A and B are shown apart, each in its own frame.
Chain A
Amino acid sequence: MPNKSPIYVWAFLAFATLASWGIGARDPLHALPLLVVMIAVIKCRLVIRYFMDVRHAPAWLRYSCDAWLLLNLAMATSAYWA
């Protein structure tokens, strides 16, 4: 196989999924739901950058995807602290 990086990315994503599920399954302390959403945003960014190959895309597309991720993170953060 020429390039193994999709497998490494997947392995990290699977680990992060299990970690955030483990966190979510317990009674959360105040910071834990926020941690869950941060992990989700990091996972999305990995899928976008590596699986979708956006890391090699023009700057406008990279920034748009990052902006969308930040928007969702900001919404979840402010909803959590409201």
Chain B
Amino acid sequence: MTVSARQSVPGGIDVWVFVLGDMLIFSAYFAAYLFLDRAPNRALFRESQAQLSQGLGLVNTLLLLTSSLFVALGIQAAKARARTAAARFVTLGAACGGAFLLVKSYEWTSKIRGGFTITTDAFFMHYYMLTSLHVVHVLVGLVFLAIVRRELRSPSVPRLELVDAGGVYWHMVDFLWILIFALLYLMR
């Protein structure tokens, strides 16, 4: 099967098998949150939701958006053969991802100190489950970004499809968080 240069699958089909699968898994979690637990407990969910810090959620969303910008600029630079700039952008993107993890840890710690744990109620079970699952994806994404960075800094010609694939996975981590932020933090 041939595809025109304008219509290639970004990063190759393999990473998209991962990404599409992950998208479906998260949708299943969203469905469980919305229909199994939230629907019969709307008042409880509204009350518990009010305990979340929308400010911290906002900071985290802006961090991941900015990390995605850096990664997108890095991929662009890689395609333009500006490998040093590309590696720097990817490092910046990963740094934002690291900052996201720090803010998330702080958020979890302060929630737990406030007495809101995974067993507090159904809302908090979903909160911890969804954000933990997302954090696992952030960690995997950071490993991929490290691989991309190493590829860009190696003496041989970087494999652009590998670089692209790492970027694709990272952007998925970003847009999944956008939905989690909206559903868990903002939508009441």
Contacts and interface: CB of A to CB of B under 8 A. Distances in A.
Interface of A: 1-3, 6-7, 9-10, 13-14, 17-18, 20-21, 23-25, 28, 33, 36-37, 39-41, 43-44, 47-48, 50-54, 56-58, 61, 64, 68, 71-72, 75-76, 79-80, 82
A45 to B, nearest CB: 9
18 contacts: A2-B76, A6-B76, A9-B72, A23-B186, A24-B185, A36-B187, A39-B182, A40-B179, A40-B186, A43-B178, A47-B178, A51-B69, A52-B172, A56-B10, A68-B23, A68-B27, A75-B31, A79-B34
A20 B30 contact: no
Chain B: number of interface residues, binned into ranges: 35 or more
A24 B174 contact: no
Contacts, number: 126
Interface of B: 3, 6-10, 16, 20, 23-24, 27, 30-31, 34-35, 38-39, 54, 57-58, 61-62, 65-66, 68-69, 71-73, 76, 80, 164, 167-168, 171-172, 174-175, 178-179, 181-183, 185-188
